[in-house]
Amino acid sequence: MIVIGADKVARALDHSGCIALMREAMIALSEGRSQQLLRGIIDLGGGDAFGVMPGALEGAGFGAKVVSVFPAAAAKGRSHQGAILLFDRDSGAPVCVVDAGEVTAIRTACASAAATDALARADATRLAILGTGEQAWQHALAIRHIRSLDRIILWGRDMEKAAGLAGRIAETLPLPVEVARDPAEAVRDADIVCTTTAAAEPILTGDDIAPGTHLNLVGSSRAGPAEIDGALVRRARFFPDHREGVLAQGAEFLRAKQAGLVADDHVLPEIGAVYAGAVQGRRDAREITIYKSLGSIVQDLACAAYLYRKLA
């Protein structure tokens, strides 16, 4: 059994290749060529949590991710930390342990990029990112692979951190990057919006988003904290990564449902069905679309199997 650390993951798992991996993994999920249980979550209090995600993916093997989510730890490095254990399907033997923090950082943004490619308008050029952590950075790197961006607008509660991230993105891509004073200002002229925050309560409302916008909801991965309000959920064509998971643990949907704004049928078939051509994504240029990301073990297994084959 080999160990694949964060540095090796960062060198071997490039964004363009990972976007393709995410498409295939989510098609397999929607077509029943994978198995996964709802994630088990232990609430440790104070916003901290411990999660276990087991599953199996055809062609990749089976295994689990164990991960801690400590939002305050982001200031010192990364909020998501843990390990992915991959087993061989033929022998049943464990073959590798992979740094889950680095995989999660890259694959989450690449899954959003794949969804954006399927759901955003073809002429989308303006990206708004809410948040200043690792996912904000990774989403900037990933989205530019599927749309020709002409500018990025950032917002974060800490304006100094937002300015620092803006400078880092502008130097790397390079693109003009602006810092907005509040979430509504950040998304006002955006074609694509990525919410990557640790917000406990909604930071965007149904009135903030213009027709034709696509949103990737990333920050909340369990029932409870929500990044957008129920009115915005109701306005949008709402696609899940894993429908069963979102019905049980998708905070934005659950709040809208509790308020009587939507029912279960508002959650459309999974994004993998859109990739496979079985379900229509965006239907017109003025429609608002949402991809709700909880994160799926099949995404982690696809990455782990790819890394194992490449580095073993």
Q: Return the closest-CA partner of residue 40 out of 57, 61, 65, 58.
A: 65
| 65 DSSP β-pair partners | 53, 84
Residues 13 and 138 in one domain: no
Residues 45 and 137 in one domain: no
Residues 238 and 140 in one domain: yes
Residues 50 and 160 in one domain: no
Please give the residue range of the domain that contains residue 205. Answer: 122-292
In a domain? residue 112: no
How many other C-beta atoms can be found within 10 angstroms of the C-beta atom of residue 147? 21
Provide the domain count of the chain. Answer: 2
Residues 52 and 182 in one domain: no
The whole-number pLDDT of residue 115 equals 98
Q: What is the DSSP string of 185-206?
A: HHHTT-SEEEE----SS-SB-T
Q: Is the dihedral of CA 269, 275, 118, 144 positive or negative?
A: positive
Measured distance CA(107)–CA(138) in Å, rounded: 9
Residues 14 and 46 in one domain: yes
The whole-number pLDDT of residue 76 equals 67
The per-residue pLDDT string of the chain (312 residues; one tens digit each, 9 = 90 and over) reads: 999 999 999 999 999 999 999 999 999 999 999 999 988 889 898 888 899 999 999 999 999 999 998 877 776 667 788 999 999 999 999 999 999 999 999 999 999 999 999 999 999 999 999 999 999 999 999 999 999 999 999 999 999 999 999 999 999 998 999 999 999 999 999 999 999 998 999 999 999 999 999 999 999 888 889 999 999 999 999 999 999 999 999 999 999 999 999 999 999 999 999 999 999 999 999 999 999 999 999 999 999 999 999 998
The whole-number pLDDT of residue 75 equals 67
Examine residue 174 and say whether the peptide bond preceding it is cis (omega within 30 degrees of 0).
yes
Distances (CA, A) of 153 to 105, 211, 239, 251: 20, 18, 24, 25
Residues 63 and 181 in one domain: no
The whole-number pLDDT of residue 70 equals 85
Residues 35 and 138 in one domain: no
In a domain? residue 116: no
What pTM, to 2 d.p., does this model score? 0.94
**SS3 of 138, please?**
helix
In a domain? residue 109: no
Residues 185 and 265 in one domain: yes
Measured distance CA(62)–CA(52) in Å, rounded: 14
